[in-house]
């Protein structure tokens, strides 16, 4: 592949970069792993530039490739014995830039809500968690998730419904996440 392909590669990928990075972050939940996943996607995409040029919806194709890379890495990770703590995983990180970041009481309350939501999400199956994050957080449409995860749209809808119901059940148990009438 020649260096003259670099402008074409950048032109195709630039509109999708932010969304793809957010997808990597949502899938992995860790900055370092998201960056690795994103970088691996770019390497794979550059190797398939000739195919990528002819794809009508490169964003969906790239998302699908990223999801497959993530699943492959999860399988490899499941076989590892040692788990490490990475930057950004420890409590107290990540509040900078949030609304009310200069109000410690509000920061603490908001951080507790994020922790409860993260704990509730971690109780969902991987399939349910990914669908909720893709649809409700990242704004992927049902048909995009269908292509991305290679499952029927009806399955996407039922998993999304079940995941939301389970989240509501988990979060309603402690009675503190949703204000009355918010859900």
List all residues 6 or more positions away from 46 whose beta carbon is below 8 Å from its beta carbon.
1, 9
Cα separation, 105 vs 99, in Å, equals 12
Hey, what domains does the chain have and what are their CATH numbers?
3-79 (1.10.1740), 104-174 (1.10.10.10)
pLDDT at 94: 45
Reported as a pLDDT band with limits 50, 70 and 90, residue 159 is very high
Instruction: Note the pTM of the prediction, 2 decimals.
Output: 0.58
Per residue in 92-130, pLDDT (tens digit) is 444 444 454 566 777 777 777 778 888 888 888 888 988
Mean pLDDT value across the chain: 79
- Residue 24 near residue 34 (C-beta atoms within 8 A): yes
- For CA atoms 150, 156, 160, 166, give the dihedral sign: negative
**Chain centre distance of CA 101:** 24
Cα separation, 28 vs 31, in Å, equals 8
Give the pair of three-digit tokens for residue 158.
Answer: 């039922």
Per residue in 10-20, pLDDT (tens digit) is 888 899 999 99
Helices 17-28, 31-47: inter-axial angle, 10-degree rounding: 130
pLDDT at residue 177 tops 80: no
pLDDT at 181: 46
């Amino acid at each position: 592949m020649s260096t003259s392909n670099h402008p074409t590669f950048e032109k195709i990928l630039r509109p999708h970069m932010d969304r793809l990075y957010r997808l990597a972050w949502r899938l992995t939940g860790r900055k370092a792993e998201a960056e690795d996943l994103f970088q691996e996607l770019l390497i794979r995409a550059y190797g398939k530039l000739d195919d990528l040029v002819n794809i009508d919806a490169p964003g969906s194709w790239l998302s699908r490739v990223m999801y497959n890379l993530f699943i492959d890495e999860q399988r490899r990770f499941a076989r590892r014995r040692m788990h490490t703590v990475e930057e950004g995983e420890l409590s107290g990180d990540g509040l900078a830039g949030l609304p009310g970041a200069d109000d410690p009481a509000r920061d603490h309350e908001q951080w507790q809500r994020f922790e409860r939501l993260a704990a509730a999400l971690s109780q969902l199956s991987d399939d349910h968690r990914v669908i909720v994050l893709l649809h409700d957080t990242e704004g992927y449409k049902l048909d995009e998730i269908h292509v991305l995860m290679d499952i029927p749209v009806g399955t996407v809808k039922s998993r999304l419904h079940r995941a939301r119901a389970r989240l509501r059940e988990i979060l309603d148990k402690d009675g503190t996440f949703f204000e009355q009438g918010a859900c």
